[in-house]
Amino acid sequence: MSTQNSIIVPCLTCGARNRVPQARTNDTPRCGKCKTPLSLNPPDHPVIVSDALFQKEVMQSSLPVLVDCWAPWCGPCRAVGPVMDALAKKYQGRVKVAKLNLDDNPATGSRYSITSVPTLLLVKNGKLVNTLVGALPQAQIEAAIHQML
């Protein structure tokens, strides 16, 4: 049987991955494990996070998170931007892609001892599991994502 007509929806409460047939997505499906109504529209674009939102959006995320810590004056960061957009689409519902402007959010930068930009943080279940420094090619970032999934 083809799986093309169903989507995987992670439960934002317990983290269980639910397979929902496309045909049923209008029925407000519930999580098979904890019965919480499922949010069917995980973002397909990077979400903007800040020092204030970091705990909730990143550390408490039920999905693994890739955080692009960037700065407006950083040339290589501009090369990473489109890669983050592509990854957010490709891993929609599996990985949350986030962007944090270090100039505006210095507390996160100092907490994770970020000394060079861009720095990518990979966070799973509230733990920093990997740090990638520099404007790496998409394939290398994806390899790190696959290690985390």
State the nearest-atom distance from the C-beta of 28 to Zn ion, in Å. 14
Q: Is 74 a catalytic residue?
A: yes
16 is an interface residue for Zn ion by CB under 5 A = yes
Quick one: 29 or 81, whose CB is closer to Zn ion?
29
d(CA 13, CA 60): 10
Quick one: 32 or 81, whose CB is closer to Zn ion?
32
**Of 25-64, which residues contact Zn ion (CB under 5 A)?**
31, 33-34, 36
97 is an interface residue for Zn ion by CB under 5 A = no
Strand 6-10 versus strand 47-49 pairing type: unpaired
- According to CB under 5 A, which one of 11, 80, 88, 141 is a site residue for Zn ion? 11
CA distances from 116 to 6, 43, 105, 109 (A): 41, 28, 14, 10
d(CA 62, CA 75): 32
C-alpha angle 145-81-89 in degrees, rounded to nearest 5: 55
* Residues making contact with Zn ion (CB under 5 A): 11, 13-14, 16, 31, 33-34, 36
